[in-house]
């Protein structure tokens, strides 16, 4: 019997790391056993993430809310100090609100993007698994990390909570193929944790755009041009546009244009942002 057990344990040690990660209480990133389950961000056993990996993936230093660049020195200014010509009418209406941009973003005042982590420094595989493989177990914990980030920025007076959450819509054909909209699932969990209403009926995607992975900024802008419409007049003044990941910001900018025309202030909330050209629309 003992020899059989020894042989079994030896065979388990040769199991590929991918298979080990699928075993109970294993971290999706480092594939090690998850020892500390209950944390401030939730039940890590259920999420399949260990505390060390999760905290290592989250932003530790101040980041520009425009492009995501790490700020060597925390820049804490007010929009009132910016040149009036650099502000859109909607942005000019919040002169009392603090901002945190890098020097380049101060010139253009792009959309503020709230994300707890970088896509390419750890969380990418987890966020991709939510989107493409419907592995939803980590979603609640990642949203908790986003909510913690939101609360920090609100406390620092860098953002203001929105009246409503607007998930980025999928085209009906894409929704039929995938079976779910990850942006809606994320927004739903944010709504629960922050007690902010969710409205999935304001926006609709009228063009079945091509997947944008691998596209340049110019190709993305062409792909998303006039891809969205508003279904009705907007009864809100401040919204948070919710998506899983932000890369160039092309989709967010296209939707924000529609909302800005209605006098609506837009922030973007996502689980992670990728290191790519910023919302300033670079190629």
Q: What is the mean pLDDT of the chain?
A: 77
Taking residues 64-82, report their average pLDDT.
63
Looking at per-residue pLDDT, the higher value among 256 and 19 belongs to 256
- Percent of the chain beyond pLDDT 70? 70
Q: What confidence score (pLDDT) does residue 223 get? A: 57
Indicate if the pLDDT at residue 192 is higher than 80: yes
pLDDT attached to residue 90: 42
With a cut of 50, say whether residue 246 has pLDDT above it.
Answer: yes
In which band, very low, low, confident or very high, does the pLDDT at 225 lie, cut at 50, 70 and 90? low
158 Cβ contact partners less than 8 Å away, ≥ 6 residues apart: 65, 76, 97, 98, 99, 100, 112
Q: How far apart, in whole angstroms, are the C-alpha atoms of residue 101 and residue 239? A: 20
Domain limits, the chain: 14-57, 60-273
| Confidence bin at 232 (pLDDT 50/70/90) | confident
Cβ neighbours of residue 33 closer than 8 Å, sequence gap 6 or more:
25, 26, 27, 50
What CATH number has the domain spanning 60-273? Answer: 3.40.50
* Residue 145: pLDDT band with limits 50, 70, 90: very high
pLDDT digits (tens, 9 = 90+) for 79-108: 334 444 444 434 433 332 346 888 888 888
Mean pLDDT (whole number) for 140-163: 95
**By the 8 A CB rule, do 118 and 149 touch?**
no
Which two tokens mark 143?
């949203």
| DSSP letter for each residue of 196-226 | --B-SSSEEE-S-PPP-TT--HHHHHHHHTT
Q: Which contacts qualify for 172-175: CB closer than 8 Å, 24 or more apart? A: 173/208, 174/205, 174/208
Per-residue confidence band for 277, with pLDDT thresholds at 50, 70 and 90: very low
pLDDT score, position 219 = 58
pTM listed for this prediction = 0.78
Q: Which residue has the higher pLDDT, 19 or 32?
A: 32
Q: What is the mean pLDDT of residues 202-229?
A: 64
């Amino acid at each position: 019997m003992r020899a059989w057990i020894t042989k079994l344990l030896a065979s388990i040690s040769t199991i590929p790391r991918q298979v080990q990660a699928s075993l109970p209480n294993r971290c999706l990133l480092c594939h090690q056993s998850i020892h500390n389950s209950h944390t401030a961000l939730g039940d890590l056993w259920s999420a399949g993430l260990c505390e060390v990996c999760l905290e290592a993936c989250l932003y530790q230093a101040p980041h520009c809310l425009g492009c995501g660049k790490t700020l060597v020195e925390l820049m804490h200014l007010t929009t009132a100090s910016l040149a009036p010509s650099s502000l859109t009418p909607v942005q000019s209406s919040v002169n009392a609100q603090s901002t945190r941009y890098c020097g380049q973003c101060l010139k253009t005042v792009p959309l503020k993007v709230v994300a707890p982590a970088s896509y390419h420094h750890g969380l990418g595989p987890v966020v991709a698994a939510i989107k493409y493989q419907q592995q939803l177990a980590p979603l609640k914990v990642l949203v908790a990390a986003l909510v913690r980030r939101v609360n920090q920025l609100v406390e620092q007076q860098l953002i203001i909570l929105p009246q409503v959450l607007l998930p980025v819509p999928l085209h009906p054909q894409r929704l039929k193929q995938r079976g779910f909209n990850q942006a809606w699932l994320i927004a739903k969990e944010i709504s629960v944790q922050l007690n902010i209403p969710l409205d999935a009926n304001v926006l609709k995607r009228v063009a079945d755009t091509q997947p944008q992975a691998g596209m340049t900024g110019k190709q993305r802008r062409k792909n998303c041009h006039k891809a969205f419409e508003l279904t009705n007049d907007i009864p809100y003044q401040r919204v948070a546009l919710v998506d899983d990941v932000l890369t160039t910001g092309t989709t967010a900018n296209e939707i924000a244009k529609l909302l800005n025309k209605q006098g609506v202030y837009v922030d973007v909330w996502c689980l992670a942002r990728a290191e790519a050209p910023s919302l300033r629309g670079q190629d």
